[in-house]
Amino acid sequence: MEEFLSNKTGSRLDVFCGGSARLRGEVLKVEGGVLYLKDDEGQLCYVVVEKIVAVWEARESEQRAGFVPAKLK
């Protein structure tokens, strides 16, 4: 898995770690069993590679659950 993720450096991925743990970000590097991801806001996230269940390419058009801001008059 570590070698696979290393080959994805620069790619935007969704990473699933089980339960509701789903992360999205750009792969910066994989080192010492840790995946380094950077999210859209520039925050870094560190994921233990052995905890990863599934990985897939992030889709830009994907709809995610959340609040929709209301337009005020």
Is the pLDDT confidence value at 4 over 70? yes
pLDDT of 69? 59
Rounded to two decimals, what is the model's pTM? 0.77
pLDDT of 60? 72
- List pLDDT tens digits, range 27-53: 999 999 999 999 989 999 999 999 999
Domains of the chain: residue spans and CATH = 2-57 (2.30.30.100)
Is the pLDDT confidence value at 6 over 70? yes
DSSP the chain: -HHHHHTTTT-EEEEE-STT-EEEEEEEEEETTEEEEE-TTS-EEEEEGGG--EEEEPPTT-------PPPP-
